[in-house]
Amino acid sequence: MLHRSAQPTTFETIAELGPGDSLGIGLAALLSGAQRYLALDVVRYADNRRNLRIFEELISLFRHRAPIPDEAEFPLVRPLLPSYAFPADILTSPRLDAALHPKRLELIRGAINNPAPRPRGGGPVCYIAPWEPGVIENGTVDLVFSQTVLEFPRDLRGMYAEMCRWLKPGGIMSHEIDFKSVGITVEWNGHWSCPDALWRLAAGRRRHTLNREPHSTHIALLRRMGCRIVCDERTVQPSAITRAQLATRFRDLTDEDLTTSSALIQAVKPTSVVTNK
Ligand SMILES: C[S@@+](CC[C@H](N)C(=O)[O-])C[C@H]1O[C@@H](n2cnc3c(N)ncnc32)[C@H](O)[C@@H]1O
Distance in Å, CA 207 to ligand 1 centroid: 11
Residue with the smallest CA separation from ligand 1 atom 14 is: 18
- Name which residue sits closest to atom 24 of ligand 1, judged by CA: 18
d(CA 20, ligand 1 centre) in Å: 5
Q: What does the pLDDT read at residue 42?
A: 97
**Mean pLDDT of the chain, nearest integer:** 95
> In this structure, what DSSP letter does residue 22 have?
-
Is the CB of residue 42 below 6 angstroms from any atom belonging to ligand 1?
yes
pLDDT, tens only, 27-80: 999 999 999 999 999 999 999 999 999 999 999 999 999 999 999 999 988 889
Instruction: Check if 153 has its Cβ closer than 6 Å to any atom of ligand 1.
Output: yes
Mean pLDDT on 234-256? 97
Dist CA 264 CA 274 (whole Å): 24
CB neighbours of 261 closer than 8 A, spacing ≥ 6?
178, 179, 180, 188, 189, 235, 236, 237
Residue to mutate (ligand 1; options 16, 41, 76, 179; most atoms within 8 A of CB):
41
pTM: 0.96
- The answer to whether 14 and 143 have CB atoms below 8 angstroms apart is yes
Beta carbon of 155 within 6 Å of any ligand 1 atom: no
Tens digits of residue pLDDT in 132-147: 999 999 999 999 999 9
Sign of the dihedral defined by the CA atoms of residues 160, 163, 169, 172, in that order: negative
Distance, CA 88 to ligand 1 centroid (Å)? 30
Q: How far is the CA of 209 from the centre of ligand 1 (A)?
A: 11
pLDDT, tens digit, for every residue of 187-214? 999 999 999 999 988 887 778 899 999 9
Distance CA 187, CA 194 (A): 11
pLDDT tens profile 165-177:
999 999 999 999 9
